[in-house]
Chain A
Amino acid sequence: DIQMTQSPSSMSASLGDRVTISCQASQDIGNNLIWFQQKPGKSPRPMIYYATNLANGVPSRFSGSRSGSDYSLTISSLESEDMADYHCLQYKQYPLTFGSGTKLEI
């Protein structure tokens, strides 16, 4: 099984900060990774597809990148509405696996 090691598990940041959340894949997943945002009591929302592609309607302050087996979600200038949990998902192979999640507090 492919393990997705997500870090940090939680973080606190200030408005306007640049924030980066990471997922490391235990095997090659290519760019087969999605980042989700989940606000309290809500269903997850896809933010980044195929590791680097912004989903429709997602603000341009969000971006995704890859360096080898390390995948990152970056928020360039944090806004209050970005307070949420963030999850990564690899869909390269079964079983599909999620990272353990990052709680972003502001």
Chain B
Amino acid sequence: EVQLVETGGGLVQPGRSLKLSCVASGFTFSSYWMYWIRQAPGKGLEWVSSINTDGGSTYYPDSVKGRFTISRDNAENTVYLQMNSLRSEDTATYYCVTNFDYWGQGVMVTVSS
């Protein structure tokens, strides 16, 4: 059974940093691209980042480029999202996703003073 378990969310002040982790199991992690997708409260879905199988290629929308960094550790079956210079508009549930088939349960990030 495929499982994606996100951790690391919480309440953080504007301008501070937070690092999300997503541990994968039930599939060959190193063979799949991974994605982070977020959803602000009561809003739609927004793609946040992508990473290829070996971590050598990453992609971001302009809204987070330069502030967020996606990375992966294939030995640990884990994908990360380092979020710096957080803003109130980054408040959302963050989902770890593989191939768009499987989604984690989501982790809430709240940016507020």
Q: Is A98's CB under 8 angstroms from B106's CB?
A: no
* Number of A-B residue pairs at CB separation under 8 A: 38
Q: Is B103's CB under 8 angstroms from A44's CB?
A: yes
B59 cross-chain contacts in A, Cβ below 8 A? 94-95
Number of B interface residues in the complex (CB < 8 A): 15
Number of A interface residues in the complex (CB < 8 A): 18
- A12 interface residue (CB < 8 Å to B): no
Beta-carbon nearest neighbor of B101 in chain A: A46
CB contact between A43 and one of B50, B62, B106 (< 8 Å): that residue: B106
Question: How far, in whole Å, are A95 and B35 apart by their CA atoms in the complex?
Answer: 12
A36 cross-chain contacts in B, Cβ below 8 A? 45
Q: Is A98's CB under 8 angstroms from B45's CB?
A: yes
Beta-carbon nearest neighbor of B43 in chain A: A101
A91 cross-chain contacts in B, Cβ below 8 A? 100
Question: How far, in whole Å, are A34 and B44 apart by their CA atoms in the complex?
Answer: 15
- A97 interface residue (CB < 8 Å to B): yes
Task: Please name the 4 residue pairs, one residue from A and one from B, whose CB atoms are nearest each other, closest first.
Answer: A43-B103, A96-B47, A101-B44, A95-B61
- Chain A positions within 8 Å of B, measured between CB atoms, are 34, 36, 43-46, 55, 87, 89, 91, 94-101
